[in-house]
Amino acid sequence: MEQSSRGDRVASRVDVGPAPRSPRVRLVLLSFLMLFVELGLIRWSGAYNLYLSFFTNFILLASFLGVGVGFLRSRSRFDLFRLASLALAAQFLFLAVFPAEGGRVGGVLRVIGAFGWPALPKWVSLPIVFVLSLLVMAAIAAGVARVFVRFEPLEAYRLDILGSILGIVAFSALSFADAPPLVWGGIVAAVLVFLTERSRIRDLAPLAILVVILTVFSFAPRTYWSPYQRITTTPVEADGSLGIYVNGRPHQRIMPLSYMKAEQTFRFVPYQRAPDNALNNVLIIGAGSGNDVAIALSEGAHHVDAVEIDPLLYRLGRDLHPDHPYQDPRVSVHIEDGRAFLHDTTTQYDLVLFAIPDSLAALAGQSSLRLESFLFTEEAIQEVRDHLASDGVVAMYHYYLPTVVDRYGETLTRVLGSPPCLDESPGSGPKPQVVLTGGIRPGSVVCDGVWSPSAASMAPNTDDYPFPYLVSRGIPGFYLIALLLILLGSLATVRVAGGPFREMHPYVDLFFMGAAFLLLETTNVVRFALLFGTTWFVNALVFGGILVSVYLAIEVTRRWPVRRQGLLYVPLFASIAFAWVMPLGSLLDLSSIARFTAAVLVGFTPVFMGNLIFANRFRDVGSSTIAFGTNLLGAIVGGLLEYGALVVGYRALLIAVAVLYALALVTGRSHLGRRSELPAAGR
């Protein structure tokens, strides 16, 4: 079978289309395009499809499957890359014509499409989005693969990673600049034009549709793009208020202080429950557009630290709030994650307020984390307690379901030593307005009624299991059905696109490596999010660091190949075990520099060792495209296994990583220490 695969490799070099002027530049640019488009699809799809808020890595799984299919189809005489612009236009056109936007209005979930039409149901919308994303990535990946085979496997992999690093850097720079989708599309179009042969320039005609769509949506009235989400605002009403929508969902409303005193009285409850509190220092986590900052100032706060993760929400409040709370000299604004701010501040607060920091925004399509995931864990409230003054108070309010009230009430009770005050009033739907207020010492808050569990006690969430809205550990039924369908669909797609599975059999160890590596990525995203915040910058830093670790592993392998490759598994398993022994929050007490250094060593050492093993194995494969495609298909399984964190927590994923690498060791043992006799590929 190995000899057959090698023959395929040689044959695949024969029919790859006209030789590009610079194959190295072409491969780097194609790899750049592949990662850049993947990130763009994650951002654009989530901005216009509400259903993707609940399937955080849906587009990521479609992308991995598409890339795998593109590599497996690269031997076809038809150049699938010619369909890239058509697939891109179809994806963006579908989301433009059939968005799924809305949210709960008056307690009723309303999801609407374009022009006020009813939105497609999720069982129709999600499969179409998945298939279109798959086709986009398959077309681009086929272009990558047809150049990939011009090089020795390891050299091709090195150039691919270089392009990917450029892709993450470019997209991060655009996020920093709040660039609208038209800029993303302009870069994609420019790269496609540069890479397309003159005789095939007509294949790029669909790009005109893409550019028109992106122009219309980028310059839509009152539409803005932050590093996290699409934000739209409603016209300012006579009373000075206006609505803010995030990814098409009602999110918050800028309201004058007079309106809140009349209609939003629950926001003032924490100050009433602590009447003797001096309010020298107030911390507001989730300051948003400034409503709660205005209330704190009106209640006599001497100084307010306003923490908001989204810079655009802050700027909207700064520019549009009628009471101008952010212009008050008593206010210090911090654009960062609330938990990260608590890690680094030394200030003692008289009141710490969680002001509805419920974003429902996913962390860049990787892991089940949301921007607020680490704010309400037991460890987070312990950090809040450590930052309270002698009579300090912590409060949180939202439209909570009873199970969530019980979870947060139990958390405050365990951390503060006594049950918090509970204030409830009818909301606009099934979720009442709930305020929980607790003090660092008994008697620091005064109220008529305190929280008591309404049913069986709900255990607090932890940093290892930060899922406050799950009633019990487990994967919801709809998730299980969706994941099963993705798995079955992936198998069918690979069989149709790539032919018999036996062609991938020689690379089953690379399949397990792909699954393990995806889970390693997830654990690193979670670790860095906890230690440094769930911000777009931290997330970009993690992915950039992972790619750099991969590149370093490739360079080490190119210069010092390891003949006894089995020995590399010893430091790999040791580094995984060390990461397991050192749990998520064990580094929080370190200084910022020491914390970062330790996080890099703990998180990236297994990544480096895993890719050192992969690079040494990959340099001698017979068919680089089938081997690489098999590895990427393994990543799909890793993405599905990531949902196991909903059952066992994130730390336990390291056990799955170790098991998967053990399977790679067992299934690939015949390749350990063996050197290929295949001559170097032509360049």
Does pLDDT of 11 surpass 50?
A: no
Average pLDDT over residues 166-195: 92
- Convert 28-45 to b/e letters by CB count within 10 Å (16 or more is b): bbbbbbbbbbbbbbbbbb
> CATH number of the domain that 253 lies in?
3.40.50.150
Phi then psi dihedrals of residue 78, to 5 deg: -80, 130
- Total domains, the chain: 2
Asked if the structure places residue 93 within a domain, the reply is: yes
Q: How sure is the predictor about 5, in pLDDT bands with cuts at 50, 70 and 90? A: very low
Same domain, 160 and 64: yes
The pLDDT assigned to 606 comes to 96
Asked if the structure places residue 454 within a domain, the reply is: no
Question: Could you give the CA distance from residue 669 to residue 408 in angstroms, rounded to a whole number?
Answer: 50
Average pLDDT over residues 85-98: 94
The pLDDT assigned to 530 comes to 87
Question: Could you give the CA distance from residue 223 to residue 182 in angstroms, rounded to a whole number?
Answer: 13
Q: How sure is the predictor about 4, in pLDDT bands with cuts at 50, 70 and 90? A: very low
Phi-psi category of residue 119: left, alpha or beta, with phi > 0 → left and psi -120 to 50 → alpha: beta
> CATH number of the domain that 135 lies in?
1.20.1250
* 8 Å CB contact between 156 and 27: yes
Same domain, 245 and 216: no
The pLDDT assigned to 361 comes to 54
Q: Which residue has the tokens 């190295």?
A: 24
Average pLDDT over residues 105-133: 83
Q: SS in 3 state form for 38-105?
A: HHHHHHHHHHHEHHHHHCCCHHHHHHHHHHHHHHHCCCCCCCHHHHHHHHHHHHHHHHHHCCEEEEEE
The pLDDT assigned to 75 comes to 74
Look at residues 439, 456, 490 and tell me which one is the last residue of a structural domain: 439
Provide DSSP, 226-260: -SS-EEEEPPP-TTS-EEEEETTEEEEEE--HHHH
Q: Which of 66-75, 101-110, 363-372, 409-418 has the highest mean pLDDT?
A: 409-418
Of the candidates 106, 437, 450, 452, which has an alpha carbon nearest to the alpha carbon of residue 268? Answer: 437
Does pLDDT of 679 surpass 50?
A: no
Q: Is 322 helix (H, G, I), strand (E, B) or coil?
A: coil
Classify the C-alpha dihedral 373-374-376-378 as positive or negative: positive
Where is average pLDDT lowest: 285-294, 345-354, 458-467, 474-483?
A: 474-483
pLDDT in tens, 275-300: 777 899 999 999 999 999 999 999 99
Q: Is 31 helix (H, G, I), strand (E, B) or coil?
A: helix
pTM value > 0.75: yes
Distance from CA of residue 353 to its chain's centroid?
A: 26
The radius of gyration computed from the CA coordinates of the chain, to the nearest angstrom, equals 26
Same domain, 216 and 234: no
Asked if the structure places residue 38 within a domain, the reply is: yes
Same domain, 124 and 251: no
Of the candidates 596, 505, 490, 474, which has an alpha carbon nearest to the alpha carbon of residue 542? Answer: 596
Q: State which residues form the domain around 75.
A: 2-222+472-671
Same domain, 266 and 180: no
Asked if the structure places residue 491 within a domain, the reply is: yes
* Average pLDDT value over all residues in the chain: 87
Same domain, 528 and 594: yes
Asked if the structure places residue 614 within a domain, the reply is: yes
The pLDDT assigned to 294 comes to 97
Same domain, 252 and 401: yes
Angle at the Cα of 556 (from 551 to 562), degrees rounded to 5?
130
Burial class (CB in 10 A: 0-12, 13-18, 19+), 522: buried
Same domain, 250 and 215: no
Same domain, 215 and 249: no
Look at residues 439, 464, 490 and tell me which one is the last residue of a structural domain: 439
The pLDDT assigned to 368 comes to 59
Same domain, 482 and 616: yes
Look at residues 439, 458, 490 and tell me which one is the last residue of a structural domain: 439
Asked if the structure places residue 632 within a domain, the reply is: yes
Same domain, 664 and 546: yes
Question: Could you give the CA distance from residue 167 to residue 175 in angstroms, rounded to a whole number?
Answer: 12
Asked if the structure places residue 463 within a domain, the reply is: no
In whole angstroms, how far apart are CA 437 and each of 273, 287, 392, 626? 7, 18, 11, 58
Same domain, 195 and 103: yes
Please name the residues in contact with 579: beta carbons below 8 A apart, sequence gap of 6 or more: 523, 602, 603, 605, 606, 654
Question: Could you give the CA distance from residue 321 to residue 323 in angstroms, rounded to a whole number?
Answer: 6
Q: How sure is the predictor about 346, in pLDDT bands with cuts at 50, 70 and 90? A: very high
Q: Is 179 helix (H, G, I), strand (E, B) or coil?
A: coil
Average pLDDT over residues 370-396: 91
Q: Is 356 helix (H, G, I), strand (E, B) or coil?
A: coil
Does pLDDT of 10 surpass 80?
A: no
Does pLDDT of 375 surpass 60?
A: yes
Asked if the structure places residue 457 within a domain, the reply is: no
Of the candidates 524, 535, 505, 504, which has an alpha carbon nearest to the alpha carbon of residue 611? Answer: 524
Strand 242-246 vs strand 331-335: parallel, antiparallel, or unpaired?
Answer: unpaired
The pLDDT assigned to 108 comes to 58
Percent of the residues in the chain that have a pLDDT greater than 90, as a whole number: 55
Q: How sure is the predictor about 500, in pLDDT bands with cuts at 50, 70 and 90? A: confident
